[in-house]
Amino acid sequence: MKEKKRGFILIMTAPSGGGKGVLSRHLMETMDGIRFSVSTTTRAKRPGEVEGVHYYFVGKETFAEMIREQAFVEWAEVFGNFYGTSRRALLDHLEAGQDVILDIDWQGARQVRAQMPGDVVQVAIIPPSREALQRRLVLRGQDALEVIEKRMALAEVELSHWEEADYGVINDRLELACGDVEAIVRAERLKRARMAERIKQVVGSF
């Protein structure tokens, strides 16, 4: 009987506009056994967003109750809204052998690493320059100028923690960055600790 390999948590930290959303979608479209963790949030639903696909949308009172119940493996407040990752859903995916992408910042990454250190692979996604990042935020047309200014200030803080990651990818050319994150996933799946049970079965048959 084939042993089911435990999945791992892939955290791609990046400033807003850094490209982690595009890279996450690329991995899920091109690689088997990897999925995106759906966070719970108190922010308002944006046009086109679907409950349970993009986020689970709840009120602040419900979110506070979930914090008290320790339902989140990490949570944070961003621009007055709260975001959290379900502990139970995350563990269910890992135990089913699925690799799970978390879209969280450096503070959230620290929280998850502290609780699940052996399950986390962290990748810092770095924009090629400050100017390039600001241009991306303007061109996507989602935020007012004052919000973009706040995001740029947060980008400096986010990027100052890049050394906490296991890998670093400079997202200058998208096709190269996509190849880089694919290579990271493949390498992590072949780590000795993750392959141990399968290899023991093979070696034991000799």
Concatenating the DSSP letter of every residue in 92-155 gives HHHHTT-EEEE---HHHHHHHHHH-GGGEEEEEEE-S-HHHHHHHHHHHT-S-HHHHHHHHHHH
Q: Is residue 17, in this structure, part of any structural domain at all?
A: yes
Q: Is residue 184, in this structure, part of any structural domain at all?
A: yes
pLDDT band at 131 (very low <50, low <70, confident <90, very high): very high
Q: Is residue 82, in this structure, part of any structural domain at all?
A: yes
Query: Which domain CATH number covers 110?
Result: 3.40.50.300
Q: What is the pLDDT of residue 5?
A: 83
Q: Is residue 136, in this structure, part of any structural domain at all?
A: yes
The CA distances from residue 27 to 61, 62, 106, 119, 184, in Å, are: 35, 32, 21, 18, 11
Q: Is residue 113, in this structure, part of any structural domain at all?
A: yes
Residue 119 has pLDDT above 70, yes or no: yes
Characterize 129-157 residue by residue with b for buried, 16 or more Cβ atoms within 10 angstroms of its Cβ, and e for exposed: eeeebbebbeeeeebeeeebeebbeebee
Q: What is the pLDDT of residue 162?
A: 96
Task: Determine which helix (DSSP H) or strand (DSSP E) holds 10, and give its type and residue range.
Answer: strand 9-13
Average pLDDT for 152-175: 95
Residue 183 has pLDDT above 60, yes or no: yes
Average pLDDT for 85-110: 93
- Domain count for the chain, please give it: 1
Query: pTM here?
Result: 0.85
Residue 133 has pLDDT above 80, yes or no: yes
Q: What is the pLDDT of residue 1?
A: 45
User: Phi, psi at residue 121, to the nearest 5°?
Assistant: -120, 120
Q: Is residue 2, in this structure, part of any structural domain at all?
A: no
Q: Is residue 103, in this structure, part of any structural domain at all?
A: yes
Q: What is the pLDDT of residue 102?
A: 92
The contacts of residue 135 (CB under 8 Å, 6+ apart) are: none
Q: What is the pLDDT of residue 3?
A: 58
Range of the domain at 28: 9-204
Q: Is residue 1, in this structure, part of any structural domain at all?
A: no
pLDDT band at 82 (very low <50, low <70, confident <90, very high): very high
Going by C-alpha positions, the residue among 107, 139, 121, 109 that lies closest to residue 19 is 139
